[in-house]
Chain A
Amino acid sequence: GAGVSQSPRYKVAKRGQDVALRCDPISGHVSLFWYQQALGQGPEFLTYFQNEAQLDKSGLPSDRFFAERPEGSVSTLKIQRTQQEDSAVYLCASSPVLPIYNEQFFGPGTRLTVL
């Protein structure tokens, strides 16, 4: 079946522009995560949804970052007034039911470059 998909795969933005990154999780997956991966580093947690509820946003680096999942399926990560330090790969992962023991399924990521 289809895995997690993300779009666009690549995004170039000028500093100060707003961007929106989309994640389509595996159908029926309750849990959805966003991670940020800087070059040469492991992914870092940004935020977590259970259905449409955003239960943890402790990893969002600033109030310029905003995530939503209004109908409990597709999620959008929005970054306002992008800065060069926002350049990274943004990964989305989903998991069925409660991710206590279950694996997280990752998408291919969106590579954001801020000029």
Chain B
Amino acid sequence: DAKTTQPTSMDCAEGRAANLPCNHSTISGNEYVYWYRQIHSQGPQYIIHGLKNNETNEMASLIITEDRKSSTLILPHATLRDTAVYYCIVRVGMYGGATNKLIFGTGTLLAVQP
């Protein structure tokens, strides 16, 4: 699985959009970009994933560059409850007994300020 690079920490004002970048320059054509977040003292929580098209769900939007070497997770209106460590993960989806384990880095600590 490709390696990802994320800033160690970011701040965001409450109510503003939070844009979290991720570099994955060695991504392969069959690898997906996943985002998880981990609020303090909780297990990680899935946010969104994509292959090459931009994706949006009720939690966030995922923008993947055309060359797929980087992506941005967007929380459109950050709240204090969005303060968490955000992990960008790249992995291949495989069939038939493959592990499909998640390889986490150290992520980005997003601090939403009141």
Instruction: Write the residues of chain A forming the contact surface with B, with a CB cutoff of 8 angstroms.
Output: 4, 31, 33, 35, 40-45, 48, 50, 55-56, 58-59, 91, 93, 95, 98-101, 103-109
| Interchain Cβ contacts under 8 Å between A and B, 9 examples | A33-B102, A42-B105, A42-B107, A45-B99, A91-B44, A98-B95, A100-B94, A101-B49, A104-B102
Question: Cα distance A35–B87 when bound, in Å?
Answer: 15
List of A residues within 8 angstroms of B42 by Cβ: 106, 108-109
3 closest A-B pairs by CB: A106-B43, A42-B104, A103-B46
Q: For the side of the interface on B, what is the size category?
A: 20 to 34
What B residues does A105 contact at CB under 8 A?
46
Q: Are A108 and B97 in contact (CB under 8 A)?
A: no
The residue from B45, B49, B96, B105 contacting A106, defined by CB atoms under 8 A apart: B45
- Shortest Cβ distance from B107 into A: residue: A42
B25 to chain A: which residues have CB within 8 Å? none
Q: How far is B89's CA from A44's CA once the two chains are assembled, in angstroms? A: 12
Q: Tell me which of A43, A58, A95, A99 contacts B44 (CB under 8 A).
A: A43
Does B101 make an interface contact (CB < 8 A)?
A: yes
Taking CB atoms and an 8 Å cut-off, the chain B residues in 68-114 that contact chain A are 85, 87, 93-97, 99-107
- Is there an interface contact between B87 and A42, defined as CB atoms closer than 8 Å? yes
Q: What's the Cα separation between A101 and B93 when bound, in Å?
A: 6
* Residue pair B43, A91 in contact (C-beta under 8 Å): yes
Q: What is the chain B residue whose CB lies nearest that of A55? A: B97
CB < 8 Å neighbour of A45 from B46, B87, B93, B102? B102
A41–B106 contact, CB under 8 A? yes
Q: Are A59 and B43 in contact (CB under 8 A)?
A: no
CB closest residue in chain A, given B41: A108
Most chain A beta-carbon neighbours within 10 Å: one of B43, B46, B85, B93: B43
Q: What residues of chain B lie closer than 8 Å to A55, measured between beta carbons?
A: 97, 99
Docked complex Cα distance between A44 and B44 (Å)? 12
